[in-house]
Amino acid sequence: MKKVITAVAVLATLATGALAEENRALEGRKGQFNILALNLGVLGGMAKGSVPYDAAAAQAAADSIVGVSMVHQATLFPEGSDNMSIDETRAQPSIWENWADFESKWADLGTAAKGLQTAAAGGQEAIGPAMGPLGGACKACHDTYRAPE
Ligand code: HEC
């Protein structure tokens, strides 16, 4: 019983504190974008030929991008975490005014990621063409919803 109470207390502590939660969301979303960029870099290097093509590594990078694309965005973008309300973010308030469009741009990323996942094992020449739509999906959202540095 004591264990249960302790566990509940720990969970409650972890879950409370609006500020802590906001920071976690901020770190979480930046983390996901950095995972995307890292894996895109791996594939970009192979597409350009600056890194030798490796089917397993290409597949792993594409799989990771698909995995991130499956993360639902609502918990990472709580209301009030825009760049007018808090520091250290480039998320524009327009995200929350156009939430359905933001989610649809995220879904476009998922579609492009799946295309890349299929192409990744197909050899060096297959990667570049499949990266185009993915890069386009990143850019479409950044141009609209990410503030310039
Ligand atoms: C649906 C919208 C959306 C899509 C799709 C998207 N991004 Fe972003 N990205 C954002 C927003 C909004 C921010 C700003 C987050 C913040 O500062 O809180 C951001 C920030 C970033 C950052 C900076 C992270 C940091 O540490 O501050 C990187 C890197 C990034 N994105 C890479 C990518 C890559 C690569 C892709 C595509 C594979 C991608 N993004 C797709 C919306 C998107």
83-137 pLDDT tens trace: 999 999 999 999 999 999 999 999 999 999 999 999 998 999 999 999 999 999 9
Q: How far apart are CA 56 and CA 51, in angstroms?
A: 13
Q: Is 59 left (phi over 0), alpha (psi -120 to 50) or beta?
A: alpha
As for ligand 1, residues whose beta carbon falls within 6 Å of it are 26, 29-30, 33-34, 36-37, 40, 89-91, 102, 105-106, 109, 134, 137-138, 141-142, 145-146
Report the half-sphere exposure of 119 (CA within 13 A, side-chain side).
Answer: 20
Answer yes or no: are the C-beta atoms of 25 and 71 closer than 8 Å. Answer: no
Could you tell me which residues come within 8 angstroms of residue 146 by beta carbon, excluding any fewer than 6 positions away? 90, 91, 92
| Predicted pLDDT of residue 10 | 66
Q: What is the share, in percent, of the chain residues with pLDDT greater than 70?
A: 93
Residue 67 burial (CB count, 10 A): 14
